[in-house]
Amino acid sequence: MQPITRTVLISGASSGIGRACAVSLLQQGHTVVGLSRNCQQFTRPHPQFSAFEIDLSDLTSLPTQLKQLSKQFPSIDAVIFAAGRGQFSSLEEFSYTQIQDLINLNFISQSFLAKGFLPALKRKPLADLIFIGSEAALNGSRKGSIYCASKFALRGFSQALRDECAKSSVRVSLINPGMVKTEFFDTLSFLPGDDKSQHLYASDVADAVSYIINTRSGMIVDEINLNPANKVVKFKK
């Protein structure tokens, strides 16, 4: 692994997988820029951490905010796309607005973020785009039509973008976790099992991100699938 420090932008950095990635990378000596809709959730200052408040679901203002962000932090040489949310129902239970909102956040905003930083990243000697996908990007499931569609789109996007960036210094990777025990499930009607073999931890995903970030130049990690040893789904009463 390379003994170099990186400047890493993380979306969804205030909770769950994004927060675990931020903590892990800071512990390794990297510099982290964390994106969140509410920066008050970052309660512990760190000399190598900067917060930037942004609403990724606001696609109208997003390009302008990304331009400001790239000017404020020109040293960014890696982006981790950890923002997103889950919503699961049969298709007819979704409103048209809910369909659009979920696709906008889980996919469209990620493509905006990648586009906003790609030109600058191509000028770096080494750069990484690391997308946090989902097991839902591998197989469609009942009541997951819109969520799965958003993750299938993200997976196809990352595969195509990897090919587009093949002759540049930019590496594009995708991590597809199974159920991770985080706040993701707070608003859902189900959650993973309690035993440690029945769920992943956010730190498990952060470890995979760390591996990719620290991999030597000349090597690309295309895709990593992570799952608990036993898949158990519990439904809330």
**Inside any domain, residue 211:** yes
User: What per-residue confidence (pLDDT) applies to 2?
Assistant: 46
**Inside any domain, residue 98:** yes
- Chunked in runs of 10, what are the mean pLDDT values of the chain (237 residues)? 80 92 95 87 82 92 94 96 89 95 95 97 97 91 91 96 96 93 75 83 95 92 94 79
Q: Which pairs count as long-range contacts for 92-96, CB under 8 Å and 24+ apart, including other chains? A: 94/146
**Inside any domain, residue 1:** no
User: What per-residue confidence (pLDDT) applies to 190?
Assistant: 65
User: What per-residue confidence (pLDDT) applies to 37?
Assistant: 81
User: What per-residue confidence (pLDDT) applies to 94?
Assistant: 94
**Inside any domain, residue 166:** yes
The CATH number linked to 72 is: 3.40.50.720
Helix (H) or strand (E) segment spanning residue 171: strand 170-177
User: What per-residue confidence (pLDDT) applies to 151?
Assistant: 95
At a CB cut-off of 8 Å and minimum separation 6, what does 12 contact?
18, 35, 36, 82, 83, 84
**Inside any domain, residue 79:** yes
pTM for the whole thing?
0.92
User: What per-residue confidence (pLDDT) applies to 178?
Assistant: 86
- Report the C-alpha gap between 193 and 98 in whole angstroms: 28
**Inside any domain, residue 17:** yes
User: What per-residue confidence (pLDDT) applies to 129?
Assistant: 98
Buried b (16+ CB within 10 A) or exposed e, 80-117: bbbbbbbbbeeeeebeeeebebbbbbbbbbbebbbebb
**Inside any domain, residue 2:** no
Domain that holds residue 169: 7-235
Q: Which pairs count as long-range contacts for 196-203, CB under 8 Å and 24+ apart, including other chains? A: 197/228, 197/229, 197/230, 198/228, 198/229, 198/230, 198/231, 198/232, 199/228, 200/226, 200/227, 200/228, 201/20, 202/16, 202/17, 202/19, 202/20, 203/20, 203/24
User: What per-residue confidence (pLDDT) applies to 206?
Assistant: 96
**Inside any domain, residue 174:** yes
Nearest C-alpha neighbor of 115 from the set 35, 167, 51, 172? 172
User: What per-residue confidence (pLDDT) applies to 3?
Assistant: 58
**In the chain, how many domains are there?**
1
- Report the C-alpha gap between 40 and 190 in whole angstroms: 28
